[in-house]
Amino acid sequence: MRTILTTVSSPGFLYLASQSPRRRQLLEQLGVRHELLLPGPDEDSEALEAVRPGEAPAAYVKRVTGLKLEAAVARLVRRGLPPAPVLCSDTTVALGRAIYGKPEDARDAARMLSELSGHTHRVLTAVAVQSGRRRFDALSDSRVTFAKLTPAQIRGYIAGGEPTGKAGAYAVQGTAAAFITRIAGSYTGIMGLPLFETAQLLRKVGVRWG
Ligand SMILES: Cc1cn([C@H]2C[C@H](O)[C@@H](COP(=O)(O)OP(=O)(O)OP(=O)(O)O)O2)c(=O)[nH]c1=O
């Protein structure tokens, strides 16, 4: 607790309420010091991500990010941790109004990749930060174009394990780069934490870094 106490008092500290290794990596890329604020065994964080029938992708990703943030702030209070800004994010892939979250299994990943194959889809990442009663959020909306994928390519990609834990069953930062013909928007937003928008939010709540 002493370590946290000394760090939270400095303005360059926040809680990252995410179990995504990519989000941690991206926050470290900015040089922002943080502690993880992860759900306990009593919290069903996956339940927050249920899609409402007919919900538009942008509305979905903003709503889920808000739910994640509310749960994280309650967690902070419940655990009696020293106050500091809390950052959450959610990434979803959309083709038209179809929403692609993290694949359930290899079959689900194959379905997603075959549907995304040869098309341009959106990657939407919402990010939100709360400090005391102040809350700010932002949305990153990018487009990613896949080359046409053969069933063998899809099988090979899935066998490599990359789709696990990734919205849309792919990782722009991984070997999927070999079949991404074009991106428009935010590379870091596609990966899971749009760093331009995140930096803007952190400045709004007085978090400084570097
Ligand atoms: C599209 C894409 C997603 N992703 C990842 C980022 C996220 O970790 C994941 C989207 O799932 P999310 O539900 O947004 O996040 P998460 O469950 O991994 O973590 P948490 O909810 O605790 O914050 O997909 C990539 O790593 N690369 C990509 O190219």
Task: Report ipTM for this prediction.
Answer: 0.98
Angle 102-103-109 (CA atoms, 0-180°, nearest 5)?
135
Nearest CA to ligand 1 atom 5: 166
Protein residue with its CA nearest to atom 23 in ligand 1:
18
Domains of the chain, earliest start first: 13-204 (3.90.950.10)
What's phi and psi for 31, nearest 5 deg? 85, 25
Flag whether the pTM goes above 0.90: yes
* Burial (CB count <10 Å: 0-12, 13-18, 19+), residue 65: buried
Chain segment 191-206, per-residue pLDDT in tens: 999 999 999 999 999 9
- Each residue's pLDDT tens digit, 31-84: 999 999 999 988 888 888 888 999 999 999 999 999 999 999 999 999 999 999
Ligand 1 binding pocket includes 18 (Cβ within 6 Å): yes
pLDDT tens for each residue of 90-124: 999 999 989 999 999 999 999 999 999 999 999 99
Q: Which of 62, 67, 102 to mutate to test the pocket of ligand 1 (most atoms within 8 A of CB)?
A: 102
Cβ of residue 91 lying under 6 Å from some atom of ligand 1: yes
**pLDDT surpassing 90 at residue 171:** yes
Question: Would you say the CB of residue 75 lies under 6 angstroms from ligand 1?
Answer: no
Tell me phi and psi for residue 62, to 5 degrees: -70, -40
Structure-token pair, residue 171? 């990782």
Predicted local confidence at residue 47, as pLDDT:
83
